[in-house]
Structure 1
Amino acid sequence: MPQKNIPYSILELASVAANSNPADTFKRSLDLAQKAEELGYHRFWLAEHHNMISIASSATAVLIGHIAAGTEKIRVGSGGIMLPNHSPLVVSEQFGTLGSLYPDRIDLGLGRAPGTDQVTAQAIRSDRMQSVYRFPEEVEAIQHYFSADNAGARVRATVAEGVNVPIYILGSSTDSAHLAAKMGLPYAFASHFAPAQLFEALNIYYNEFQPSDYLGEPYTIGLLNIIAADTDAEAERLSTTQIRMILGVLTNKLDYMQPPIDMTPELKAISQDPAFLRMQQYAFVGSKATVKEKTEEFLSKTGVSELMIASHLYHHEDRLKSIELFSEIMKER
């Protein structure tokens, strides 16, 4: 049985709606974070993506500062920093600075995927594939930069030394599970878009976990896509925005987030396509009762320590409503 009072959090991609722009998106992201704080959400993480017109979370550390400055107590972090795109020293300096500006509120989630296409990834960092293979060593390098014991090193991130910024390993495969377990770090699995290896990865992490100075027992975060509304029919209508966004990803025809429309036979067929279903196995769409039932089933099967939700909803008011309903679900448990 899953524990009753588990934390619940938000992953924000800063989706850009049609007839909007990134500046508008950033304002909505802050408003969402402020609402989440009021509703009792534990963290507000921002993703890293590049060269996508529909997603504005590119300068992740900058956005984290924006959100942290406009909130008071909710934890703010990266879901995640795609480490092969960056220098471990610079990441340490950025997050050490954030950790000093907003003490005990900043999280550093680290992943190894590019967060973009391969051509753009090459433009970001030409040696990134070498960095992918060195991912464990680069995570350790960040740990050293944050350690107060690094004061005698020749290369230092002085603004990070001794600053409390917890590190999380992000992943969508079993590779990341082995690493998180070996390093004794908390583990977040991207089941909201890549659920295929969820249970295998969790089993590896739980079975291989080695306690560390950072964490005494396993800690896992499961990610869900949540679209909650007053009725199942209304939630289904709102989900047409997300269906079309995912179709754009699958067909490499990315576009701005589009307004919801009445469900059509074509969109219904797309939503039932095996490739779509594989990606959206943990997309819970419906009324509060429907989402609650599916969420309880997920928690019962996975035993994760925390839930983190994402969604693509065109109207900001609909997203505020959705996170409010999900908060009610979690509080009523």
Structure 2
Amino acid sequence: MKEIEKMKHIPYSILELATVGAGKTPKQVFDNSLELAQKAESFGYKRFWLAEHHNMLSIASSATAVLMGHIAGGTKSIRVGSGGIMLPNHSSLLIAEQFGTLASLYPGRIDLGLGRAPGTDQLTANAIRPDRMQAVYRFPEEMHNIQRYFSKENQQAKVRVPIAEGLDVPIYILGSSTDSAHLAAKEGLPYVFASHFAPGQLLEALDIYYNNFQPSQYLKEPYTMAGINVVAAETDEEADTISTSMLRLILGVMTGKIDYMQPPIKMTPELKQVSIDPAFQRMLKYAFVGSKDSVRQKTKAFIKQTGVNEIIAVSHIYHQEDRINSFRLFSEAMNEI
């Protein structure tokens, strides 16, 4: 594991899934996402990334690049990116066109995070792209295609993306297992681990990345980001109550009873028992729920253990005012570490 000589302030960002609450329309969800991005900008967050998921009642960020344009157009300085684009679902040329367009509209603010998971169930993945499994094996090649489309050297090629050529859109490799760590290290690209829902191989993947990293034209030293779930409130008890929306949402995913995110309820003994169930803990090992001080202490320990360069926080919080307050408190906590 990467050694940390001393604790220092590190950047903090948001991964937005555009979670759909019961009784909410997609338009309300998108408006709330934009409001959160605007608040995050004022709170000092570095990035606001959007995740690609399909055929899920509770997530509205399926057209990721379109939603990125909505967010970037309503903010001024925060970086806006994909966390990520699931590349095997797409043509590398079309992704270069989309992100070249975004980078032309919002210079110096667009990130391209790439993953190879489907972001959905296998039946839907097949409906998106029947040859998807072949595309999974071609992931490194397709990523290289995107890099080529963004290079000035491609101006002499027969197949071009003129709107992308010469633009600076950093690529981040996303992963939830050790496979992508090898690729990110070999390619000399920043590495982002989805420890907010798949924490099991986090430390092993980071070790692989740190130990095998090869400097590139894109990055001279390793750069890592890791996801955590955050529900912060004025008190631990209040945070526990707010977190019941997340607990019930994840329980629905685990039991196959997927539904919209529900309003919070008082923490019950049954829900408390669910939250400490081993299967649940394996998925939400890095869910930091509590007061600002509680969340700060847990996050500080996480940074010390992992040595990551940046934290990217996820939240499933029903009420918009609670969500904004949680990210405000988390910003304060990060600045106190």
Superposition TM-score tier, normalisation by shorter sequence: over 0.9
- 1:189-217 Cα offsets, whole Å, 9 max, x none, are 00000000000000000000000000000
Please provide the CA RMSD for this pair: 0.7
Please state how far the C-alpha of 1:3 moved relative to its aligned partner: 4.2
| Runs of 4+ residues deviating >2 angstroms | none
Larger mean Cα displacement after TM superposition, 2-11 or 154-163: 2-11
Which residue number in structure 2 is paired with residue 293 of structure 1? 297
Q: Are 1:35 and 2:42 matched, yes or no? A: no
The letter for the 1-side match of 2:256 is: N
d(CA) in 2 for partners of 1:270 and 1:329?
A: 28
Which residue number in structure 2 is paired with residue 332 of structure 1? 336
Which residue number in structure 2 is paired with residue 152 of structure 1? 156
d(CA) in 1 for partners of 2:101 and 2:11?
A: 26
The letter for the 2-side match of 1:95 is: F
Instruction: List runs of 5+ in structure 2 lacking aligned partners.
Output: none
SS of equivalent to 1:76? strand
Which residue number in structure 1 is paired with residue 186 of structure 2? 182
Q: Are 1:242 and 2:251 matched, yes or no? A: no
d(CA) in 1 for partners of 2:248 and 2:37?
A: 25
- 1:5-42 Cα offsets, whole Å, 9 max, x none, are 21000000000110111110000000000000000000
Please state how far the C-alpha of 1:158 moved relative to its aligned partner: 1.1
Aligned residues of 2:7 and 2:304 also touching (Cα < 8 A):
no
Which residue number in structure 2 is paired with residue 311 of structure 1? 315
SS of equivalent to 2:61? coil
The letter for the 1-side match of 2:232 is: A
- 1:264-292 Cα offsets, whole Å, 9 max, x none, are 12211111111100000000000011101
Which residue number in structure 1 is paired with residue 259 of structure 2? 255
Which residue number in structure 2 is paired with residue 195 of structure 1? 199
> TM-score if structure 2 supplies the norm length?
0.98
Which residue number in structure 2 is paired with residue 112 of structure 1? 116
Q: Are 1:46 and 2:46 matched, yes or no? A: no
Please state how far the C-alpha of 1:94 moved relative to its aligned partner: 0.2
Please state how far the C-alpha of 1:243 moved relative to its aligned partner: 0.5
d(CA) in 1 for partners of 2:296 and 2:90?
A: 39
The letter for the 1-side match of 2:248 is: R
Which residue number in structure 2 is paired with residue 62 of structure 1? 66
The letter for the 2-side match of 1:231 is: T
Which residue number in structure 2 is paired with residue 282 of structure 1? 286
d(CA) in 1 for partners of 2:7 and 2:80?
A: 24
d(CA) in 2 for partners of 1:191 and 1:80?
A: 14
> TM-score if structure 1 supplies the norm length?
0.99
Aligned residues of 2:50 and 2:84 also touching (Cα < 8 A):
yes
Residue from 249, 270, 274 that aligns with 1:266: 270
Instruction: List runs of 5+ in structure 1 lacking aligned partners.
Output: none
Please state how far the C-alpha of 1:163 moved relative to its aligned partner: 0.8
d(CA) in 1 for partners of 2:130 and 2:217?
A: 34
Number of aligned residue pairs: 333
d(CA) in 1 for partners of 2:7 and 2:27?
A: 40
d(CA) in 2 for partners of 1:154 and 1:3?
A: 50
SS of equivalent to 1:225? strand
Which residue number in structure 1 is paired with residue 97 of structure 2? 93
Please state how far the C-alpha of 1:157 moved relative to its aligned partner: 1.1
